[in-house]
Amino acid sequence: MMLKRPALVKRRWILPILMLIGISIAIFLVSFRQQPQRAETKVAVIPVQVIEVQKTPLRARVIAFGEVHPSTFLEANAEVSGKVIYISPNLKQGSMIPAGTRVLSIDDADYQLAVPQAESDLAVHRANLQELEVEKTNSGRSLEIAQRTLELGERELSRKKKMAVKGSVSRSTADSEERNVLSLRQDLQTQQSQLSLFPTKRKVLEAQINRAEAMVRDSQYDLRRTQVSLPYDVRIGQVHIEKEQYVSRGARLFDASGVDQVEISAELPMVQAAPLFRNLQLPEARTLSPDDLSEALLGLEARVTLVGGRGKREWRGRVVRLGETLDRISRTLPIVMAVDDLYRHTVSEAKPPLFLGMYTRVELLAPSSPALDEGRVYLVQNNQLRIRPVEVDYHQDDTTIIRSGLESGEKVIVTDVIPALNGMPVAVFTLGEESSKWFAAEGGFEP
C-alpha cells in the first residue's frame, strides 16, 4: 500500500498542467491571428427611362366610325301631269343650286284655262247668294202685307157675323167672308214657310261658294306647281326626266340633298364608352331613365376626320340623337352627329365638304370624370425609386390620366422594374440611338 502513493500524486497534477497548456496555446493563437479582409459589396444601379408629369386639361373621349349622309334629302316628284317644256341647264348631277331657282317647267296650258273656269263658277254661286238675299227681303215684306190683310179680313168677318145675327145681311154673305179669311190665313202660312227656308238655302249657297273658292285655289295651285323651284340650297343627285317627256302626277323628277348640314350615323362601342358615360352630366338620381341618358348625350362635342384622307382636316359637330336600340351582336349604340356650315369651312379653312358616303372617324368628348380606380406609380427622387399611390381617372389609348397623387414636373418611371423596391438606386437615361442599342443588347428597356 505504501509503495503505490507516488503514482496517485502524479495523476492529480496532470489535469491542471494540460489545462494550462491549452490556455497558453489559445492566448498565443488569438494574439497572433490575422484580421479578416472586408469585401465591398456593389449595389446594382438599375437604368430606367422616365417621363415628366404634365398638367394638362383633358376630357374623356371615345372613337366611333360612320358614313356621311345629308340631314335633308329631297325627292322631287311631279305634283301635276303634263309635258316637260323646260329643264334648267344646271339641273345635272353634282351641281349646287341656290334656293328659289326654277329648275323645271311643265306645260301649263290646261291649267291656265282651269283658273278662269273655276272663277266663273264662283261668281255664279255668289250671284245666287245675292239673289237669295233679295228674295228674303221681298218675302219679309209680303209676309207683313199678308198679316195686315188677314187682320182686315178677320175684322170684316166679325162685323158681317154680327149683321147676319141681326138680319142685316144674309147667312151666305157671312159664310163667303169666312172663306175669304181662311184663304188669307193660308197665304200667310205660305209666306211664313217660305221665309223659314231661307237660312237653309243660304247654307247651301255658302257651301257651293266655299267649294268654288277651293276649286279656284286648287286650279291656281296646280298652275303654280307646273313650275318647280328649289326650297333650299341643294346639291343635285340623280335626274330622272328629260325635256319634252310626259310625266304623270307623282312621277320621280330628280333627287337633291341639302348643303347646310350633314349627319354621321356611327356605332358607339359600349365597352369603350365607359369613360364617356361616367363623365356625362347626369341628374342626381338613383335610377337613370333612357331619357336622362339621351338628354346628357345630346350636344356632346364631336370631332370628325376622314378615314384615309390626306392631311389632318377636322370638322366640329355635335350629337343630335341616339338610335332606338342597342345592337345585340356588336354591342354598339347607334348615335347620330351633325356637322353644320360645311361650305363655310371649305372656303375659310380650305377643307373639302363632306359628301354622301364618306367614311369618317368620330371622336366624342365629354367633361372630366370622377376617379375610376386606384393604382400606384414609380417615381425617381434623388436617384432612388419611390413608390406612390395615385388615383387613375381613366385610360385613353396610350395615355393614362391621373386624377390625384402626382405633381407637375415629377418624373415617372416607364421602364419595367422587377423587382421594384422602395428606395432602390436607379439611373435615369435618355434613350438616344446608341443607348437604345445598348439597352436592347443588355436586356433592358427596348423602346
Res 397 pLDDT > 70: no
Distance of alpha carbon 188 from alpha carbon 24, whole angstroms? 173
Extract the C-alpha cell encoding 265.
350615323
pLDDT recorded at residue 395? 59
Q: Where is average pLDDT lowest: 132-136, 171-175, 281-285, 324-328? A: 281-285
Inter-CA distances, 385 with 45, 121, 328, 375, 435, Å: 11, 101, 48, 16, 21
For residue 425, give the DSSP letter: B
Res 104 pLDDT > 90: yes
Q: Where is average pLDDT lowest: 1-5, 138-142, 218-222, 283-287? A: 1-5
Q: What is the pLDDT of residues 141-181, one digit of tens each?
A: 888 888 888 888 778 778 777 777 777 777 777 778 778 88
pLDDT recorded at residue 339? 87
Name the residue among 53, 50, 55, 54 with its Cα closest to residue 385: 50
pLDDT recorded at residue 442? 33
CA angle centred on 34, ends 31 and 37, rounded to 5°: 145
Distance of alpha carbon 143 from alpha carbon 196, whole angstroms? 11
Res 361 pLDDT > 90: no
CB of 31 closer than 8 Å to CB of 412 = no
With 0.75 as the threshold, say if the pTM is over it.
no
Residue showing cell 302626277? 249
Distance of alpha carbon 332 from alpha carbon 270, whole angstroms? 6
Greater confidence (176 vs 78) lies with 78
Give φ, ψ of 34 to 5 degrees. Answer: -90, 140
Average pLDDT score, the chain: 76
Extract the C-alpha cell encoding 334.
347607334
Helix 198-225 × helix 109-166 angle, to 10°: 180
Confidence of residue 254 (pLDDT cuts 50, 70, 90): very high
Confidence of residue 252 (pLDDT cuts 50, 70, 90): very high
Confidence of residue 107 (pLDDT cuts 50, 70, 90): very high
Percentage of the chain exceeding pLDDT 90: 15
Q: What is the pLDDT of residues 363-384, one digit of tens each?
A: 887 654 433 334 677 888 888 8
Res 418 pLDDT > 80: no
Q: What is the pLDDT of residues 113-144, one digit of tens each?
A: 999 999 999 999 889 888 888 888 888 888 88
Q: What is the pLDDT of residues 80-94, one digit of tens each?
A: 999 999 999 999 998
Extract the C-alpha cell encoding 406.
402626382
Greater confidence (403 vs 214) lies with 214
Strands 61-70 and 261-269: antiparallel
Res 67 pLDDT > 70: yes
Extract the C-alpha cell encoding 104.
323645271
Confidence of residue 275 (pLDDT cuts 50, 70, 90): low
CB of 166 closer than 8 Å to CB of 121 = no
CB of 190 closer than 8 Å to CB of 45 = no
β-sheet bridge partners, residue 33? none
Res 430 pLDDT > 80: no
Distance of alpha carbon 218 from alpha carbon 118, whole angstroms? 9
CB of 360 closer than 8 Å to CB of 63 = no
Q: What is the mean pLDDT of residues 216-229?
A: 91
The torsion defined by the Cα of 26, 29, 35 and 37, in degrees rounded to 10, comes to -100
Distance of alpha carbon 361 from alpha carbon 354, whole angstroms? 12
Res 96 pLDDT > 80: yes
CB of 47 closer than 8 Å to CB of 436 = no
Q: What is the mean pLDDT of residues 217-225?
A: 91
pLDDT recorded at residue 299? 60
Q: What is the mean pLDDT of residues 256-276?
A: 80
Q: What is the pLDDT of residues 434-443, one digit of tens each?
A: 333 322 223 3
CA angle centred on 265, ends 259 and 268, rounded to 5°: 150
Q: Which residues contact 270 (CB under 8 A, 6 or more apart)?
A: 326, 331, 332, 333
pLDDT recorded at residue 440? 28
DSSP code per residue over 297-331: HTT-EEEEEETT-SS--EEEEEEEEE-SS--TTT-
Tell me the Ramachandran region of residue 302: left when phi exceeds 0, alpha when psi lies from -120 to 50, beta otherwise: beta
